[in-house]
Amino acid sequence: MVFYRGVSLLSKLRSRAVQQTSLSNSVRWLQVQTSSGLDLRSELQELIPEQQDRLKKLKSEHGKVQLGNITIDMVLGGMRGMTGLLWETSLLDPDEGIRFRGLSIPECQKVLPTAKPGGEPLPEGLLWLLLTGKVPSKEQVDSLSQELRSRATVPDHVYKTIDALPVTAHPMTQFTTGVMALQVQSEFQKAYEKGIHKSKLWEPTYEDSMSLIAQVPLVAAYVYRRMYKNGNTIPKDESLDYGANFAHMLGFSSSDMHELMRLYVTIHSDHEGGNVSAHTGHLVASALSDPYLSFAAALNGLAGPLHGLANQEVLLWIKSVVEECGENISKEQLNDYVWKTLKSGKVVPGFGHGVLRKTDPRYTCQREFALKHLPEDPLFQLVAKLYEVVPPILTELGKVKNPWPNVDAHSGVLLNYYGLTEARYYTVLFGVSRALGICSQLIWDRALGLPLERPKSVTMEWLENHCKKA
C-alpha cells in the first residue's frame, strides 16, 4: 500500500508540473526566461556574466553567514550531511528526491522534448537544461543532437589502448582507460599551455566537455562489443538521437529499448555534488585538470561497490533469488530469502540511500516504464514484491535510516528484459549518463572561477583534545 500511495503522490506532482510554487526564486529565475537561439554555447555566453555577478554579490554581502555546525560524527562519518559544495545543476532533497535545475523527474518528463509523443525525455534536452537552467525547444534539442553527432569521432589510438587490456578486464577498467586515452586531444590543456586568461577558461572546458559527452557512448559501446560480441562493432547512426544511438551501437534496435536508454541516461545524469563520482570530478577539476582527467577520476569512484557498481549487484542478487526459489516465489519465501541474506552479513542491494529518506523518484519512474512496457515480466514482478517485503524487514532491523528502494533496484531488470543481460557492464551505462551532469557542472566551475578544493583535516588526537576543551 505504501508504494501505491507513493504512485498517487507522483501523479499529483505530475498534474502540477511546472506550476510548482514552493521552489525558491533563486532556482527558478533561469527557467522563466525564453530564448530563440539554437546554439548552446551562445546561450552560455549570455548567462555566464550574470551568474558571475550573482556569485560575487553572494560572497561580498553574505560570505560570513554560517550554514551550520560541524560535529565530530560528521567528520568521522565521511563528511555526511556537511554543506560544503556549490553544485548548480541539481539539488537532492531527502524527501522529494532529485531536482534538475529545480525540476523534478516527473516535471522533466512533462516539459522536456521527446523523440515521440508521450515518450521519454531526450538526454540532449536535459543537458541543455543542466547547462542553462532553461527548458529547451525541440528545435534547440535537435540542434544540440546534431552538434554532438558532429563531435562523435574517436581516434584509433583509443581503441588500440583498450585492446591492450585483457578482454576479461572489468568493463569499467576498459571504459576509464578509453577516456584517459581521449585526453590527448584536450583543448583545455592546449589552451592552458599557450596561456589563457582565467575568465576564458570555461571556453576550452566547454569544447572538451561537449566532445567528451559525444564520444563516451562510442567508447562504451566498443567495450561492450569487444567483451560480449566478439569485437563486432556497430557504427553510429547519424539519424538517431543521443540515447537511441547509444542503444543502437550496443546492438539494440528495438524502439522500446531506445526509449529506455533515453530515460536511463536522463535520470542517471546528475545527483547533486556530494556523491563520490560527482565530488571526485569536481575535486580533481578544481586543480585545473582538464575534463578528461577529471571525468576519468570520477569514473574510478563510480566503479566502487558502494557507488555505481551497486547496480550490477542488484540484478545478480535477483537472479540468485530466482535460481534458488524460482520465478513464482511467494512473498513468504521472499521474506525468508531476504532474512537469509541479511543474517549472512550481506546487504539487500538496491535498498537504502545516503541522503534520500523516501522511495527514490528514479525508481518510481522506472516502475512506471515497466508497467507500460513489460508488466508481465517475471523479474519485474519480483522487483514489485521486493518493494513490499524488504522495507518492513529493514525497518524492523532498526539500523537503516532509509529502507526504501533506490535507482539501482530497478534499472537492471529493465535492461535485462530488452536483452542487455551482462550485469558487469551496467556501471558503464551509469558512467556514460553521469558525463552529462559532471561536465555541465565543470563548465560552470570554470565560468564562476571556483577555487582549488582544500578542506582542513585533523587527527584523532586533535579531536580528542578539542572535546576535552569543549
Q: Catalytic residue numbers?
A: 307, 353, 408
- The C-alpha atoms of residue 442 and residue 82 are separated, in whole angstroms, by 21
Amino acid at 133: G
Q: Report CA 387 to chain centroid distance, whole Å.
A: 23
Rounded Cα distance between 380 and 384, Å, is: 6
DSSP state of 169: S
Q: What is the DSSP string of 311-347?
A: HHHHHHHHHHHHHHH-TT--HHHHHHHHHHHHHTT--
According to DSSP, the residues that pair with 91 across neighbouring strands are: 99
Of the candidates 395, 278, 407, the one whose C-alpha atom is nearest the C-alpha of residue 349 is: 407
In 3-state terms, the chain is what percent helix, strand and coil (to 5)? 65, 5, 35
With a CB cutoff of 8 Å and minimum separation 6, the contacts of 60 are none
First to last CA, the chain: 48
For 121, the 3-state DSSP assignment is: strand
Residue listed under C-alpha cell 526459489 = 325
Q: Is 231 left (phi over 0), alpha (psi -120 to 50) or beta?
A: left
Looking at the DSSP assignment, which residues form a beta bridge with residue 405?
Answer: 351
Quote the CA–CA distance of 385 and 229 in Å, as a whole number.
34
Q: How far apart are CA 187 and CA 104, in angstroms?
A: 34
Cβ neighbours, 10 Å, residue 346: 11
Distance CA 201, CA 192 (A): 8
- The DSSP letter of residue 245 is H
Going by the DSSP 8-state scheme, the letter that residue 98 receives in this structure is: E
CA distance 25 to 23: 7
Q: What is the rounded distance in angstroms from the CA atom of residue 435 to the CA atom of residue 215?
A: 10
Using DSSP's 3-state secondary structure scheme, residue 138 falls into helix
Nearest to 452 by CA among 285, 293, 294, 291: 285
Alpha helices in 63-155 (DSSP H): 72-76, 105-111, 123-132, 138-151
